[in-house]
Chain A
């Protein structure tokens, strides 16, 4: 079935690292994505990783993929107040659509 799972909430202190976890379902998913949604806005593509990779780093963002466990994580280094948002994990299904998790609301506290 299509059921990407994420924890719903994460609170982190400014300057610390945030880690958002996701479990996906389709072992044939070729790409896995992280999107960010701020209030009243659409989805912003943060990063994605190809399924034959274990890790991808892009500035403050690090994506880790454990294909055996179907586990994906997003680490945000030096979390800032502007990082407060909802973060969605998504997997490709049948190569044409994305199946999204429910989203993790990240709150950055001073």
Chain B
């Protein structure tokens, strides 16, 4: 079956703009998590959605938001982009919303902010 699909794969924005990234989880998976990967901070948890509800949130400013649709697809939005938001944004899906579980990652969306 198809894996986790993220779009777009690459994008370039300028400071102050906003961006929306999309994630389609593995069919049947209801939990979607987002992570930010940068050379300096490594992999950092952004938030998790399950059944259209944000269940958990990481330590990121309010400019970072997300949502999940009834088909489990998820989007994340970053407003008022800053240079430091340049990163690889990874989406992961799993069957369960909590507890130990297999987390499958997409290829990521690489955002460059100029």
The chain A residues found within 8 Å of chain B, CB to CB, are: 30-31, 33, 35, 41-45, 48, 50, 88, 90, 92, 94-103
Contact = CB atoms under 8 A, between A and B. Distances in A.
B100 A97 contact: no
B81 interface: no
B42 A43 contact: no
Contacts of B97: 96
Interface residues of B, number: 25
Main SS of chain A's interface residues? strand
Interface string B70-114: 000000000000000000001010000111111111111000000
A88 B56 contact: no
B19 interface: no
Contacts of B101: 31
Chain B CB within 10 Å, residue with most, of A44, A96, A99, A101: A96
A41 B6 CA distance: 12
B107 A42 contact: yes
Contacts of A35: 105
29 contacts: A30-B99, A33-B103, A41-B107, A42-B4, A42-B6, A42-B90, A42-B105, A42-B108, A43-B90, A43-B92, A44-B105, A45-B102, A45-B103, A50-B100, A88-B43, A90-B43, A95-B98, A95-B100, A96-B48, A96-B55, A96-B97, A96-B98, A97-B45, A97-B58, A98-B35, A98-B103, A100-B42, A101-B42, A102-B42
